[in-house]
């Protein structure tokens, strides 16, 4: 079972959107057949010049997609992994609307341990997209091998206040299980958000990893409504949540 879960994780890590769409067999919400048009779905609920917060920029692939879809946007991207951030910076140079920061978003300000994932061998950086501030669960430790790196981390509410950012229209969360901790710690800026795109999990791959049921309940309490959720049963998925007011209008 452990080997199967790990192979599934790796298959997702290297998938293009079309490949992911074929992997996520289960669905709830609307826009069932539109996985490859996720940004167009999201755009229905955003202005032409949105402020976007991306947590987990990795190599900048999604960041570049945002910049192309919303050329008038301002994109704030956090990527805590120094190696990934170096690649991200090269990939996004020349995109004036992209503001990258070698930071982790967390539920406290200070320093955190980033558990860098280099696969089961512990030396393959192709797998570092699965890195997390959360320690691997015992049954996944051998699959999440890699170095531990100390990285600066911030509470998003505090960082936004310090940088005079009073609104975020769209959050793209790739936090490898830290979603609830981050969202609960920043209620002020969350109240301004209209759209959240997030990874979902149905297994405790890491200690304290956010599970989908808890995330959905929390977001519904914060006036968000699920629009679309593509997922593999008892595994992982991706979901779009929209604030009820613009959704209902």
pLDDT in tens, 29-61: 998 888 889 999 999 999 999 999 999 999 999
pLDDT attached to residue 58: 96
Q: Is the pLDDT of residue 133 over 80?
A: yes
Taking the alpha carbons of 1, 132, 204, 135 in that order, is the dihedral positive or negative?
A: positive
pLDDT attached to residue 128: 93
What topology does CATH give the domain 17-105+159-248? Rossmann fold (3.40.50)
If you search the block for the tokens 């593999």, which residue do you land on? 232
- Residue of 103, 178, 169 whose CA lies nearest to 134: 178
- How far, in Å, CA of 132 to CA of 144, rounded? 10
Q: pTM for the full model?
A: 0.92
CB crowding 37-75: b at 16 or more within 10 Å, else e: ebbebbbebbeeebbbbbbbbbbbebbbebbeebeebbb
Is residue 157 within a helix (H) or strand (E), and if so which, with residue range?
A: helix 156-162
- Residue of 206, 113, 199, 105 whose CA lies nearest to 160: 105
CA 209 to each of CA 86, 110, 133, 173, 183: distance values in angstroms, whole numbers, following the listed order: 27, 21, 10, 14, 13
- Residue of 150, 144, 146, 148 whose CA lies nearest to 123: 146
Task: For residue 201, give every residue at least 6 positions away whose Cβ sits within 8 Å of its Cβ, in sequence order, or none.
Answer: 177, 209, 210, 211, 212, 236
pLDDT attached to residue 5: 46
- How far, in Å, CA of 11 to CA of 104, rounded? 25
Task: For residue 96, give every residue at least 6 positions away whose Cβ sits within 8 Å of its Cβ, in sequence order, or none.
Answer: none
Task: For residue 4, give every residue at least 6 positions away whose Cβ sits within 8 Å of its Cβ, in sequence order, or none.
Answer: none
pLDDT attached to residue 144: 95
Q: Is the pLDDT of residue 172 over 90?
A: yes
CB crowding 119-134: b at 16 or more within 10 Å, else e: beeeeebebbbbbbbb
For 179-231, write each residue's pLDDT tens digit: 999 999 999 999 999 999 999 999 999 999 999 999 999 999 999 999 999 99
**Domain extent listing, the chain:** 17-105+159-248
> Torsions phi, psi of 14, nearest 5?
-105, 10
Taking the alpha carbons of 134, 64, 224, 203 in that order, is the dihedral positive or negative?
A: negative
**CA 242 centroid distance within chain:** 15
- Residue of 60, 202, 204, 103 whose CA lies nearest to 144: 204
């Amino acid at each position: 079972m452990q080997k199967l879960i790990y192979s599934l994780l790796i298959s997702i890590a290297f998938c293009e959107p079309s490949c992911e769409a074929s992997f996520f067999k289960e669905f709830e919400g609307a826009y069932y057949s539109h996985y490859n048009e996720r940004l167009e779905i999201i755009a229905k609920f955003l202005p032409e010049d949105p402020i976007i917060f991306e947590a987990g920029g990795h190599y900048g692939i999604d960041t570049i997609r945002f910049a192309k879809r919303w050329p008038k946007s301002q994109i704030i991207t956090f990527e805590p992994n120094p190696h990934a951030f170096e690649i991200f910076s090269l990939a996004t140079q020349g995109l004036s609307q992209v503001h990258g920061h070698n930071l982790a978003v967390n539920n406290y300000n200070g320093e955190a341990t980033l558990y860098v994932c280099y696969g089961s061998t512990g030396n393959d950086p192709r797998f570092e997209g699965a890195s997390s501030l959360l320690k691997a669960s015992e049954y996944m430790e051998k699959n999440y091998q890699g170095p531990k790196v100390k990285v600066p981390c911030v509470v998003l509410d505090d960082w936004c206040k310090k940088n005079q950012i009073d609104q975020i229209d769209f959050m793209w969360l790739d936090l490898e299980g830290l979603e609830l901790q981050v969202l609960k710690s920043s209620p002020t800026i969350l109240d301004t958000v209209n759209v959240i795109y997030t990874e979902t999990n149905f297994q405790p791959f890491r200690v304290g990893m956010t599970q989908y049921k808890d995330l959905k309940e929390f977001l519904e309490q914060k006036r968000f409504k699920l629009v679309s959720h593509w997922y593999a049963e008892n595994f992982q998925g991706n979901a779009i949540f929209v604030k009820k007011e613009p959704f209902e209008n």
